[in-house]
């Protein structure tokens, strides 16, 4: 009797251990144990305008779901600084918006390639009173000429960002080298520059996405839009010999894929009634 009871207890213990083992180890269809994924760090240097638009709040989780082996760390800075991070290999992949500078980086060998991802446009915003009288015009250079001659203040990012580079191109087209008390060089990202312009009742150049995302907190109106010179293209560049080169290539392939392009195309419609970016990866 005791021997039978001992055998029964022993068998019960064996089955209990087997059950625990099967619960603790996930198995693949072929019966092989599936190791938990330990994500590696992927550093994405991008623009403050992309961050401030809120796009990364949906784009990054979608990438990490598709590629759980990577954990993305976003460094949001001006495009000039993002490109420098790439040159110094302090970032693995870049998502920026200064095409000429991006192509130069590829030509110099600091990035393996450059691909179009999406675009939107720049706009000139300012106070509803519009002291420079630029509202309704579609000529950005003429608008800047009027602003500089009106005595009204203009807030410049002043940070070598893609937006700042575009602004300087527009001033050059207008034949003006801006300076003086009316020209405020902020040295900050797009969100902070918009907030300062709102507080000061100043004009500024901004990407449309960041403005729309912050519009309810600003006393600024869209005054100048529609000039072809205000086109704003974004590109992705994997850094040459990046610390996480596999992750950089994976992100580049993914953000230009149909799945990611669909996310970009839909972003903003529910909240703003319009997309904030137009996908155009080839």
**Residues 182, 208: one domain?**
yes
Cα(197)–Cα(131) distance, rounded to whole angstroms? 14
CA pair distance 35, 86, nearest whole angstrom: 33
List the alpha helices (DSSP H) in the chain: 2-24, 48-52, 56-66, 79-87, 99-107, 140-150, 162-174, 190-200, 208-214, 245-255, 258-266, 269-272
Identify whether residues 225 and 255 lie together within a single domain: no
Residue 104 structural domain: 40-119+233-279
Residues 115 and 125 in one domain: no
| 26, part of any domain | no
Compute the Cα dihedral for 199, 202, 207, 213 and give only its sign.
Answer: positive
Is 173 part of a structural domain of the chain?
yes
Whether 113 and 238 share a structural domain: yes
CA-closest candidate to residue 163, choices 110, 101, 91: 101
Q: What is the pLDDT of residue 2?
A: 37
Whether residues 226 and 136 share a domain: the answer is yes
**Between 15 and 111, residue with greater pLDDT:** 111
121-180 pLDDT per residue, tens = 999 999 999 999 999 999 999 999 999 999 999 999 999 889 999 999 999 999 999 999
- 10 Å CB burial of residue 112 (0-12, 13-18, 19+) is middle
> CATH number, domain at 112?
3.40.190.10
The total number of residues written for the chain in this structure: 282
Q: What mean pLDDT is reported for the chain? A: 89
Specify if 8 maps to a domain.
no
Nearest-Å Rg of the Cα atoms of the chain is 26
Number of domains in the chain: 2
Same domain, 70 and 105: yes
Looking at the fold, whether 177 and 248 belong to one and the same domain comes out as no
Taking alpha carbons only, the member of 132, 179, 123, 185 closest to residue 155 is 185
Instruction: Round to whole Å and give the CA distance between 150 and 127.
Output: 14
End residue of a domain, out of 191, 206, 230: 230
Residues 224 and 240 in one domain: no
106 has a pLDDT exceeding 60: yes
Q: Are 234 and 95 in contact (CB under 8 A)?
A: yes
Q: What is the pLDDT of residue 49?
A: 84
Are both 255 and 127 inside the same structural domain?
Answer: no
> In degrees to the nearest 10, what's the CA dihedral of 122, 123, 124, 125?
-130
Q: What is the pTM of this model?
A: 0.81
- Whether 247 maps to a domain, the answer reads yes
- Give the least confident one: 5-14, 83-92, 139-148, 237-246: 5-14
pLDDT of amino acid 7: 38
Verify that 141 and 225 share a domain, yes or no.
Answer: yes
Instruction: Look at residues 208, 230, 252 and tell me which one is the last residue of a structural domain.
Output: 230
Q: Is 265 within the bounds of a domain?
A: yes
Task: Judge if 216 and 127 occupy the same domain.
Answer: yes
From 112, 122, 96, select the one nearest 207 (Cα to Cα). Answer: 122
Stretch among 27-31, 33-37, 67-71, 219-223 having the lowest mean pLDDT = 27-31
Domain C-terminal end among 230, 245, 270? 230
Question: Is 105 found in the same domain as 243?
Answer: yes
Q: Which of 239, 237, 254, 243 is nearest to 68 (CA)?
A: 254
């Amino acid at each position: 009797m005791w021997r039978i009871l001992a055998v029964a207890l022993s068998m019960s213990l064996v089955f209990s251990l087997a059950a625990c083992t099967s619960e603790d180890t996930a198995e693949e269809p072929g019966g092989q144990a599936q190791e938990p994924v330990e994500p590696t760090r992927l550093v994405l240097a991008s623009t403050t305008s992309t961050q401030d638009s809120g796009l990364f709040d949906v784009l990054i989780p979608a990438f990490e779901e598709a590629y759980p082996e990577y954990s993305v760390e976003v460094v949001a800075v001006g495009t000039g600084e993002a490109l420098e991070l790439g040159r110094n290999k302090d970032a693995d992949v870049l998502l920026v918006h200064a095409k000429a500078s991006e192509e130069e980086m590829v030509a110099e060998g600091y990035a393996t390639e450059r691909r179009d991802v999406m675009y939107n446009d720049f706009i000139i915003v300012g106070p509803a009173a519009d002291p420079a009288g630029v509202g309704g015009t579609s000529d950005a250079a003429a608008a800047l000429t009027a602003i500089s001659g009106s005595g009204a203040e203009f807030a410049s990012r002043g940070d070598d960002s893609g937006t700042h580079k575009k602004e300087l191109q527009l001033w050059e087209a207008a034949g003006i080298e801006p300076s003086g008390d009316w020209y405020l060089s902020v040295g900050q990202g797009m969100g902070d520059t918009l907030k300062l312009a709102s507080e000061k009742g100043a004009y500024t150049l901004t990407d449309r996405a960041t403005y729309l995302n912050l519009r309810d907190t600003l006393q600024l109106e869209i005054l100048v839009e529609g000039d072809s010179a205000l086109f704003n293209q974004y590109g992705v560049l994997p850094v040459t010999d990046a610390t996480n080169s596999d992750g950089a290539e994976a992100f580049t392939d993914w953000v230009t894929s149909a799945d990611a392009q669909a996310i970009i195309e839909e972003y903003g419609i529910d909240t703003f009634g319009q997309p904030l970016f137009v996908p155009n990866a080839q």
